[in-house]
């Protein structure tokens, strides 16, 4: 197939210019003007920005949720990411019950995800069951194209939790083979103390989720993680940074030349913690994610941090917990809602670009180049999949988003599906959207709609909106990505 994308304005992390893009097969063959036909297809991008397909650094599909029991929404729901302009998700592969990480990656690629993923998929390992074997698995994961791993410093009492010794051991092993370490940084004892104090005082409403996850608990864990990473000289990504105190730890570390990369997420940039004050607990529970949502002062800080690059990537942290699982917050025995029982996490892969464009670019808070950098280019570099992904260049995969800056709408579940039965951005104004999306040269979204068939998919007795026959390919990542470049500076 020879496809011409013409008359658009190409936006990369460095540049913006008018040019046509010639696609041959799955790759960008040339960028220029006046290409000679014949073409199998010509796509007119007049009035559109042509962006690299989005790369989402942080997605949890079919992964063990933070309660250590439930599973996040199935891979068939990944079409929502494509519809929102994300052509590659970097998904977390947790341990399957009783399985080591190497086998879990094979199981994920060959069974769980096979034929079901709509965008392309790269993987982070996510150790949720540390055993004697874990350290020897780290170089094997890298060889398999999984050059990053996440550890949870929170969720004590579940198999997700990693103590400091395990964290240090993993950092040492990772550093020897070019793996990036990622951490969920919250001090679990601070959380437990605050949560237990709230419960002892009879406070169980959803708002106690944010009231018992204080910024100092996040910042303490971030600072400890940074010290460990620096001692071992292993690059580290602090994921889902939510607040000033944690961001300041990263800003200082970067100023001192440490190889630390910060990630934040759309919900921390645009949503307020008071969402959890909703009088109906079923609704309030939807915004229970960790770290907790904060307030406007923190949002302003996070935008500044992204602009000034001590936070460098924006991942969705898509954790599609359906309402039926959010409803686990009901404590039958005591006949009351208890925020501690709610599985953490929000869906958001579909609205990552919408939120960043509307409240970043359109609001004058970031340039289009910065938008591309944090949503596409830096996540690809971080995960060793650049320049195949994350940019518009000759030889790169032809993953393109024809972004319509004139679109105006309101985010609703109907217009902005999430795969589950609610959207945490419901009611927000949206400016601009992915009008047409190409994945490796194939048009998969047109006029803002995914072209594949959408139907109900049942997993663990819960119905989701899924698409079957996913065309996504596994994109192996190379080790020694962006974090190791920082280490050399
Ligand atoms: O609450 C969250 N963030 N859930 C997803 C899992 C994680 O901690 O990233
Ligand atoms: Zn996390
Ligand atoms: Zn996450």
Q: Which of 402, 388, 398 is nearest to 445 (CA)?
A: 402
Residue 319 Cβ contacting ligand 1 at under 6 Å? yes
In contact, 161 and 191? CB cutoff 8 Å: no
Would you say domain 1-489 falls under CATH 3.20.20.140? yes
User: Mind listing the pLDDT tens digit for each residue in 195-211?
Assistant: 999 999 999 999 999 99
Residue 60 Cβ contacting ligand 1 at under 6 Å? yes
Residue 290 Cβ contacting ligand 1 at under 6 Å? yes
Q: Determine the Cα–Cα distance for residues 198 and 192; give it in Å rounded to an integer.
A: 10
Taking the centre of ligand 3 as the mean of its atom positions, its distance from the CA of residue 60, in whole angstroms, is: 6
Taking the centre of ligand 2 as the mean of its atom positions, its distance from the CA of residue 240, in whole angstroms, is: 7
User: Mind listing the pLDDT tens digit for each residue in 109-165?
Assistant: 999 999 999 999 999 999 999 999 999 999 999 999 999 999 999 999 999 999 999
Task: Enumerate the domain spans of the chain.
Answer: 1-489
Phi, psi values for residue 275, rounded to 5°: -55, -35
Q: Determine the Cα–Cα distance for residues 258 and 310; give it in Å rounded to an integer.
A: 11
Taking the centre of ligand 3 as the mean of its atom positions, its distance from the CA of residue 126, in whole angstroms, is: 10
Residue 184 Cβ contacting ligand 1 at under 6 Å? yes
Taking the centre of ligand 3 as the mean of its atom positions, its distance from the CA of residue 19, in whole angstroms, is: 37
Q: Is the peptide bond before 419 cis (omega within 30 degrees of 0)?
A: no
**Residue whose CB lies within 8 A of the most ligand 1 atoms, among 125, 267, 290, for a mutation test:** 290
Taking the centre of ligand 1 as the mean of its atom positions, its distance from the CA of residue 346, in whole angstroms, is: 8
Task: Specify the pLDDT at position 468.
Answer: 84
| Ligand having the closest approach to the CA of 63 | 1
Looking at residues 168-187, what average pLDDT do you find? 98
- Ligand 1 closest atom vs CA 239: 9
Task: Specify the pLDDT at position 469.
Answer: 86
Residue 124 Cβ contacting ligand 1 at under 6 Å? no
Task: Specify the pLDDT at position 85.
Answer: 98
Taking the centre of ligand 3 as the mean of its atom positions, its distance from the CA of residue 252, in whole angstroms, is: 24
**Percentage of the chain modeled with pLDDT above 70:** 100
Closest residue by CA, ligand 1 atom 2: 345
User: Mind listing the pLDDT tens digit for each residue in 432-489?
Assistant: 999 999 999 999 999 999 999 999 999 999 999 999 889 999 999 999 999 999 998 7
Task: Specify the pLDDT at position 444.
Answer: 98
Residue 347 Cβ contacting ligand 1 at under 6 Å? no
First to last CA, the chain: 43
Closest residue by CA, ligand 1 atom 9: 317
In contact, 153 and 225? CB cutoff 8 Å: yes
Averaged confidence pLDDT in the chain: 97
Residue 66 Cβ contacting ligand 1 at under 6 Å? yes
| Ligand having the closest approach to the CA of 66 | 1
Residue 317 Cβ contacting ligand 1 at under 6 Å? yes
User: Mind listing the pLDDT tens digit for each residue in 304-323?
Assistant: 999 999 999 999 999 999 99
Q: Is the pTM of this model over 0.95?
A: yes
């Amino acid at each position: 197939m020879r496809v011409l994308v013409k008359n658009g304005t190409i936006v990369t992390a460095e540049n913006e210019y008018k040019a046509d893009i010639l696609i041959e097969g799955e790759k960008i063959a040339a960028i220029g003007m006046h290409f000679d036909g014949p073409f199998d297809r010509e796509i007119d991008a007049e009035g559109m920005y042509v962006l690299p397909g989005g790369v989402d650094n942080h997605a949890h599909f079919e992964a063990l949720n933070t309660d250590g029991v439930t599973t996040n929404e199935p891979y068939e729901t990944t079409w929502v990411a494509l519809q929102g302009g994300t052509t590659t998700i970097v998904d977390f592969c947790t341990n399957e019950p009783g399985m080591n990480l190497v086998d879990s990656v094979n199981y994920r690629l060959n069974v769980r995800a096979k034929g079901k993923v709509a965008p392309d998929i790269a993987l982070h390992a996510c150790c949720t069951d540390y055993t004697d074997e874990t350290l020897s698995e780290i170089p094997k994961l890298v060889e398999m194209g999984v050059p990053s791993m996440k550890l949870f410093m929170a969720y004590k009492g579940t198999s997700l939790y990693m103590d400091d010794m395990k964290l240090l051991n993993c950092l040492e092993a990772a550093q020897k083979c070019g793996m990036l370490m990622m951490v969920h940084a919250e001090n679990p004892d601070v959380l437990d103390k605050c949560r237990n104090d709230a419960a002892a005082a009879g406070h169980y409403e959803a708002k106690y989720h944010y009231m018992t996850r204080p910024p100092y608990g996040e910042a303490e864990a971030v600072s400890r993680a940074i010290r460990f990473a620096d001692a071992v000289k292993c690059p580290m990504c602090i994921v889902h940074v939510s607040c000033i105190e944690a961001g300041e730890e990263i800003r200082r570390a970067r100023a001192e030349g440490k190889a630390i990369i910060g990630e934040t997420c759309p919900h921390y940039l645009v949503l307020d913690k008071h969402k959890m004050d909703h009088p109906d607990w079923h609704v309030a529970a939807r915004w229970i994610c960790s770290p907790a949502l904060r307030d406007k002062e923190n949002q302003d800080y996070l935008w500044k941090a992204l602009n000034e690059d001590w936070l460098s990537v924006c991942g969705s942290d898509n954790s599609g917990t359906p309402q039926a699982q959010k409803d686990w917050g009901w404590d039958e025995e005591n006949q009351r809602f208890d925020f501690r029982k709610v599985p953490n996490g929000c869906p958001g892969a579909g609205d990552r670009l919408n939120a960043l464009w509307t409240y970043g670019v359109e609001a004058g808070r970031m340039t289009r180049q910065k938008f591309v950098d944090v949503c596409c280019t830096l996540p690809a570099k971080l995960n060793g999949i650049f320049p195949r992904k994350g940019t518009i260049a000759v030889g790169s995969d032809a993953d393109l988003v024809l972004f319509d800056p004139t679109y105006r709408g309101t985010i609703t579940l109907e217009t902005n599906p999430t795969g589950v039965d609610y959207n945490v951005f419901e009611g927000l104004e949206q400016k601009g959207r992915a009008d047409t999306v190409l994945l490796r040269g194939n048009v998969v979204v047109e006029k803002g709609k995914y072209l594949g068939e959408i139907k109900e998919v049942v997993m663990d007795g819960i119905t989701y909106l899924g698409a079957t026959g996913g065309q996504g390919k596994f994109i192996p990542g190379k080790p020694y990505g962006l974090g190791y470049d920082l280490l050399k500076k």
